[in-house]
Structure 1
Amino acid sequence: MPAEESKKRTVGKPVRGESGPAAPLRRPQKMSEYTARQVVADIVESGLGAGDRLPAVASMAEHYGVGYASVREALRMLESIGLIKVRPGPNGGPVVNDREGAEFSSVIRLYCQIMGVTYRHIIGARQALEPILVRELATGGSPEARKELLDVTARDPAPGADFRAQARSFHDLIACYSVTNPVLSLFARAVGQIYREFIRAEGPSTEPADRPEIHAEHRAIAEAVAAGDGPLAEQLMTRHMADLAQYVETHYAMALDSVIEWV
């Protein structure tokens, strides 16, 4: 946690710069919102990662100068959007959650439902995002990251679960790396999670008859990435994602125009 001066941070007041008028008034923050913001700031400043424990409620209340109820409400807010999770039991308490996009996808789903976004839009988003990310990985990714993608595609997977696991690892690795803009990776991971939930909910379709060709496409993309050929990697991924979109259209057409629901 940061130094004690964090207690003195002003809540809900306009901020005046070194020159110029005060910023427009905003609605006053609730103490729970203020506390949630401070918890997030402390997680970032302390470099905490997935599984790291946060202080007990009593310690947070004293540190931030707020009541227990404000701390508990702040933790509920952060848990609802997936930034932390509160483990039950005597040895439980708040811990930092992972940042792989699965929890963020829940927040996106809420906005998708309100905006009438469908699964067809999700497929389109994947088609737009992954070619950009694979180009970035090829042109600016670390040698370790590019080798990892190559290693994932090194062997010919067996039909069934092995093929699906390898395909998922391939796309997840691409979504995890954005050299210039981590927001792209965040959204790619979240969109990928929504896509997987869609396929799981609709039930597994027949495995693609061209499974060997799909694996060959993955391998060719990985080789282009390893060679640092961004344009080729992007071109191959664009074609690959178009084929995937056509497969989904063929096997899940009845559900593609369903509005995504918040879960």
Structure 2
Amino acid sequence: MDGAAPEAQRPRRSRPVRVADEIKQWVVERDLKKGDKLPNESAMIAQFGVSKGTVREALRILEAQGLIATKTGPGGGSIVGEVTVERARALLGNYFYFQDLSVADLYQMRKALEPELAASLAGRLTEDQLSELEDLAKRFDHAARDIEEEKQQHVASLAFHARLADFAENKLLGFVIGFMARILTDLTVYRGLYDPPNAELWRKGRELQLRLIEALRAGDAEKARDTIASHMRIAEAFMQEQEAHLARRFMDD
């Protein structure tokens, strides 16, 4: 026995979902690109051996996923679309929002991946890219004066890491790190993990981001790796402290 679930125990997939998968496979096998046309409705009915309603529902599924687009009017029809990074992260986020992710879960991944990203970018960024990171790091030149500003500072700090991920040459690595920054931003805002304010976190975080930029500019991969690893450890300790503070506050209430 290979441990696979018996056929009877596997969730049944509707016919439109199966046809949508077949259409995707058909597109991949022909190496179609964004903007390439799909067969017309009649041709797909014949090719996949299903009804008009099933084909239309399958196409609606693919359109909702961003994999195809529909053009109306003369010469219209279905064409291959392109799933943007923002859409992919949003769809994946819909799954993880129901998984009760913790700060520890996210930082386990961040500590493993972000130092490697930083090291891989050392000496490879343009001056324009480095200047953009500097602008993000220097956006706030003072500790937060109130809770709202503290929240903005947390969001800006994570935007720095998301932007760094955008520069990744390894697109999978960049996607995962950018996705984690998005999820952590949402957790921070939804759970109020920026309250109470922490001036020391702002000071240390800003200092380490600027030190990272120096290492990237100098092409010092080891310094870049060590700097962001330190940043991850400090940020994780703070965020876990905030989680504990929030839990105590709820218990007191």
TM-score (norm 1): 0.63
Which residue does the alignment assign to 1:240? 231
Which residue does the alignment assign to 1:35? 23
- Runs of 5+ unmatched residues, structure 2: 1-16, 71-77, 248-253
Counterpart pick for 1:105 among 85, 92, 110: 92
Counterpart pick for 2:207 among 216, 222, 228: 216
Which residue does the alignment assign to 1:171? 161
8 Å contact kept, 2:20–2:61: no
The separation in 1 between residues aligned to 2:42 and 2:128, in whole angstroms, is 44
- What is the RMSD of the two structures over their aligned residues, measured on CA atoms? 3.9
Please state whether the residue corresponding to 1:30 is helix, strand or coil. Answer: helix
Aligned ranges 1:39-78 → 2 under 5 Å: 45-47=32-34, 60-62=40-42, 64=44, 65=47, 67-76=52-61
Superposed displacement of residue 194, structure 1 = 2.1
Counterpart pick for 1:231 among 210, 218, 222: 222
The separation in 1 between residues aligned to 2:195 and 2:128, in whole angstroms, is 34
Which residue does the alignment assign to 1:250? 241
TM-score (norm 2): 0.65
- Runs of 5+ unmatched residues, structure 1: 1-28, 49-53, 88-92, 257-263
2:167 maps to a residue whose letter is Y
1:35 maps to a residue whose letter is I
The separation in 1 between residues aligned to 2:210 and 2:104, in whole angstroms, is 27
Counterpart pick for 1:190 among 155, 175, 179: 179
Name the structure where helix makes up a greater proportion of residues: 2
Superposed displacement of residue 229, structure 1 = 1.4
The separation in 1 between residues aligned to 2:185 and 2:106, in whole angstroms, is 11
Q: Deviations over 1:52-109 (max 9, x none)?
A: xx97x9x752564554522432442563xx545989xxxxx99644213522533662
8 Å contact kept, 2:155–2:185: no
Q: Percent identity?
A: 16
Check 1:70–1:170 CA distance in 2 against 1; reply closer, same or farther (3 A cut). same
Please state whether the residue corresponding to 1:205 is helix, strand or coil. Answer: coil
The separation in 2 between residues aligned to 1:194 and 1:151, in whole angstroms, is 23
